[in-house]
Amino acid sequence: MNKLWFEKKSGVHGNGLFASQNIKKGSKIIEYIGDKVTKKEGDKRADKQLNKAKKNMNNGLVYVFELNKRYDIDGGVSYNHARLINHSCNPNCEVEINNNQIWISAIKNIKKNDELSYNYGYPYDSDYVDHLCKCGSYKCVGYILDEDHWPKLKRKKKS
């Protein structure tokens, strides 16, 4: 199978992944891989990564992904290229979890050289203000939030 992506500097944040060819909607692009850890260990690693990011004033160093109710995947390893996919409020990809595998798949046709992105789906809690969005899309809400929470954010901005 030909690699559907390549890595290069991103206009959104750091390095990103880009389409190496036209990708059809529904295609599996890359698997999100890393260390399979318990939820407790995943939380510990995420907190450590977040604290490191805050100290370095560098956003985007948390790569712990929920696999299921018992386990997480810590994708903060050099061989996990999927960790480089940036968030967007107008994404061209989504996350699919099947058979204990995490895949990034196209939700629309993607043109060669387009940057791959998905909505990270962060919850609407007191920490959402710490996750500023830099996607630059016309749909950008300013924060890395699951789209389900956008109406709450809009109501808050109005008040």
Dist CA 78 CA 101 (whole Å): 18
Residue 1, pLDDT > 70, answer no
Three-class DSSP category at 159 = coil
The answer to whether the Cα torsion of 142, 144, 147, 149 is positive or negative is negative
Q: pTM for this structure?
A: 0.90
Q: How much is the pLDDT for 124?
A: 87
Tens digits of residue pLDDT in 14-62: 899 999 999 999 999 999 999 999 999 999 998 888 777 766 655 557 7
Query: Of all residues in the chain, what percent carry a pLDDT higher than 90?
Result: 73
Q: Tell which residue, 87, 96, 21, 20, has the closest CA to residue 59.
A: 87
